[in-house]
Structure 1
Amino acid sequence: MINETVTLPERPKKPKWLRVKLPVGKKYTELRGLVDKYKLNTICTSGSCPNMGECWGEGTATFMILGNICTRSCGFCGVKTGRPETVEWDEPEKVARSIKIMKVKHAVITSVDRDDLKDGGSIIWAETVDAIRRANPNTTLETLIPDFQGNEKLIQRIVDVHPEVVSHNMETVRRLTREVRIQAKYERSLGVLKYLKDKGMRTKSGMMLGLGEREDEVIQTMKDLREVGLDVLTMGQYLQPSKKHLPVKEFITPDQFKKYETIGLEMGFMYVESSALVRSSYKAHKHAS
């Protein structure tokens, strides 16, 4: 019997431009102390965002509502999948209080998908924005929303409370959508963004690169997003949350990210944030003005 050794393809090694600087600065230290003292729930800390120090220094923070268990099982996302807990109806006031304690100038609100709820979580979404407005009238807002299964009645609840920016991420190109975002649909996400733009909202979306997409596919997705009137586009490097998630196929070079930025601005996007460590809420305060 002959023992054969199977050689698995090597995964690309993380390049030097993905090294993250440790957060520093007086503002970061102050906010970190408040988060720890009051046990505030920010995506910045729970997601170990590489831009946490920079964003906090600029007065921006991201909060996740509707629990931390998602009804979907996207191949890229580190959030737990399963049966979510019951809705906490006092959550809007808790988030508003956290923003006030932290003296956040620009807040980004996001959530898990709640396909288990008839309203998709849209009522809590709207009440959260209203609560933040009451407690923090000078704070600008970005809402990074799920697709609400394309239900315009639910999306309209976000429009009605009129945050400065409404974001919904495409995440990847059309060909990879089924693999990367298992329960999502490329056209449905475009439809959500079009509906928001038609209602007069400033719209934003994000893409992860390095999942095996081709340059022409990225550019086509950018064109599709401009066709539905998208204002702001973020593009960053996909990083594998665990071995159970989709592997990184390629590390995109800084020059390639810069190329996409140039192409995007030429297409007419208001803002394009394109570099390896960019995440959805990177420079978010700038996009509200």
Structure 2
Amino acid sequence: MATKNEEILRKPDWLKIRLNTNKNYTGLKKMMREKGLHTVCEEAKCPNIHECWAERRTATFMILGAVCTRACRFCAVKTGLPNELDWDEPNRVAESVKLMNLKHVVITAVARDDLKDAGSRVYAETVKRVREENPYTTIEVLPSDMGGEFDNLKTLMDAKPDIMNHNIETVERLTPKVRAKAKYWRTMEFLKRAKEINPDIPTKSSIMVGLGETVEELHQTMDDLRAHNVDILTIGQYLQPSRKHLNVQKYYTPLEFGKLRKAAMEKGFKHCEAGPMVRSSYHADEQVNAAARAKQAKGDELLKGE
């Protein structure tokens, strides 16, 4: 949280956001409201919402309600006591993916520490229903650590998403300050276990920069992720969502992001997105592995033949 004595950094020119509220944007927003669905795009105040909704017509669905049981100091999602589980939510998400004709969908969720299964059964059911209604859509999941209970992780992995994404968020030293309840090495173990459950499913993680970390710490975090068999990495600039949240300590330049991406690829990541506006699900449709692309191509061929 900012104090009176702390200087708030001015945003550089490369962080200017281009607004676009065309019919794709307004239509998608209307559909989400009509179906009672939430997106992390809105709840977390993502800076890319206009590009994704208006131009790319993609969205990251946020399931298990809109209230998180954690209060991470970087995140704008509401915190408090969540509502009861909505078992019809998987059906509404699947129908929306079909209406949007998505080739790739990202499904994330609030942390549900109030539930023994951390919401994993509803999560898995959502993946299954999306696949049933959209057999040629690739599915990426972005869960919390589910309390570190690996039976919950297995429930979700058994639904066979195409990508398992779980964010490390920051370096080890800053984790207690930045992330509520989450632990650096528990996240690493979560990613490792996901790969052990199904080695064919790519794993992915994301790092925010600008919270006071050093370049050396970022390189160490990359090494730790690779040591736990993570395939895909995204690196983006932390932006303070409100004055109640952590201050930005540094704005990285596009050149610095380029150097981080180069380092990540040299360390063995199969793909790395790095840039000021990159978020965990930014251009996620372009991060799908070769097997998923082949799956999409097959679907396109069948559609052309109809």
Asked if Structure 1 and Structure 2 have the same fold, meaning a TM-score greater than 0.5 normalized by the shorter chain, the answer is yes
Partner of 1:213: 213
Q: AA paired with 1:122?
A: S
Partner of 2:293: none
User: What are the ranges of 5 or more consecutive residues in structure 1 without an aligned counterpart?
Assistant: 1-5
Cα deviation, residue 31, structure 1: 5.2
Partner of 1:14: 11
Change (3 A) 1:136 1:7: closer
Contact 2:210 2:252 in 1 (8 A): yes
Give the 3-state SS of the residue equivalent to 1:162 in structure 2: coil
Cα deviation, residue 59, structure 1: 4.7
Q: Does 1:287 align with 2:291?
A: no
Cα deviation, residue 94, structure 1: 1.0
Q: Does 1:135 align with 2:129?
A: no
Q: AA paired with 1:44?
A: C
Percent sequence identity is: 48
Partner of 1:258: 258
- For 1:178 and 1:7, the matched residues in 2 are separated by 23
Partner of 1:187: 185
Partner of 2:99: 101
Q: AA paired with 2:73?
A: G
Q: Does 1:114 align with 2:112?
A: yes
> What does 1:1-289 align with in structure 2 at a 5 Å threshold?
8-23=5-20, 29-30=23-24, 32-37=26-31, 39=33, 40-56=37-53, 57-198=55-196, 199-200=198-199, 201-289=201-289
Change (3 A) 1:123 1:38: closer
- For 2:15 and 2:171, the matched residues in 1 are separated by 23
Dislocated runs of 4+, deviation >4 Å: none
Give the 3-state SS of the residue equivalent to 2:82 in structure 1: coil
Cα deviation, residue 29, structure 1: 2.7
Contact 1:252 1:276 in 2 (8 A): yes
Contact 1:31 1:102 in 2 (8 A): no
Offset from partner CA, 1:73-105 (integer Å, 9 cap, x none): 111111111111111111100111111122222
- For 1:38 and 1:76, the matched residues in 2 are separated by 25
Change (3 A) 1:224 1:38: closer
Offset from partner CA, 1:239-258 (integer Å, 9 cap, x none): 11111111111111111111
Contact 1:60 1:284 in 2 (8 A): no
- For 1:105 and 1:7, the matched residues in 2 are separated by 47
Cα deviation, residue 54, structure 1: 3.7
Give the 3-state SS of the residue equivalent to 1:166 in structure 2: strand
- For 1:88 and 1:46, the matched residues in 2 are separated by 18
Cα deviation, residue 55, structure 1: 3.3
User: What are the ranges of 5 or more consecutive residues in structure 2 without an aligned counterpart?
Assistant: 290-306
Q: AA paired with 1:65?
A: I
TM-score scaled to structure 2, two decimals? Answer: 0.87
Contact 2:68 2:79 in 1 (8 A): yes
- For 1:93 and 1:67, the matched residues in 2 are separated by 14
Change (3 A) 1:188 1:19: same
Contact 2:257 2:275 in 1 (8 A): yes
- For 1:155 and 1:237, the matched residues in 2 are separated by 28
Root-mean-square deviation (CA, aligned residues, Å) is: 1.8
- For 1:156 and 1:196, the matched residues in 2 are separated by 8
Give the 3-state SS of the residue equivalent to 2:173 in structure 1: helix
Offset from partner CA, 1:132-182 (integer Å, 9 cap, x none): 011111211100011012211110012111111010000000000000002
- For 2:217 and 2:31, the matched residues in 1 are separated by 46
Q: AA paired with 2:141?
A: T
- For 2:83 and 2:4, the matched residues in 1 are separated by 43
- For 1:52 and 1:108, the matched residues in 2 are separated by 14
